[in-house]
Amino acid sequence: MSSVLLSRLILHLGRCMAAMLEQETRPFGLAEGEFRVLSSLFSQPDGGAHPSELCAKTLQSPANMSRMSDALVSRGLITRVSSVHDRRKMVLRITVQGEELVRRLLPTLYGPLFEMFKEFSEEEQQQLIGLLKRLGAKLIVLSCFSSASRRRVVG
């Protein structure tokens, strides 16, 4: 029964954190998902990634990633270019304007995050990170297994 409660708590926390992020990014003209895409690109050494990689990192569907990348390209925050290694693949890359926006937004987001986690010691935060990574890895395995099972039943 505690696994059901944990699942409900994690879902609730995720929704609350997404709403908090949305509240902070909206005045900058960004939806929460768009900010996740920008910050993911910002964190890449070369500032670029394939859309499929960003889907996995930001938990977005390919259709939603396409819609968000169109919006970010039209606003000059990212570019979309063909991959040097495979011309059939696209690479999304953050622009200087996109980097500047992320740099302006990050300090705005730090306050609520620091406030949220200030009750936890550094050791507790590291422990929570480890537990959530284990849970995430298990979720990926279950998700892949579940998808494979559905394909066998349907196919």
What would the DSSP string read from start to end of 22-61? HHHHGGGT--HHHHHHHHHHHTSTTSEE-HHHHHHHHT--
- pLDDT on residue 95: 96
Number of H helices, E strands in the chain: 6, 3
Examine the pLDDT at 153 and tell me if it is beyond 80: no
Examine the pLDDT at 90 and tell me if it is beyond 50: yes
Tell me the pLDDT tens digit for each residue of 116-130.
899 999 999 999 999
Question: How much is the average pLDDT of 148-153?
Answer: 49
Specify the residue for token string 């979720």: 139
In the CATH hierarchy, which fold is given to the domain comprising 2-119?
A: Arc Repressor Mutant, subunit A (1.10.10)
Domain assignments of the chain as residue spans, ordered by start: 2-119, 120-155
Beta carbons within 10 angstroms of residue 57's beta carbon = 16
pTM of the predicted model, to two decimals?
A: 0.75
How far is 30 from 18, CA to CA, in rounded Å? Answer: 13
- pLDDT on residue 145: 63
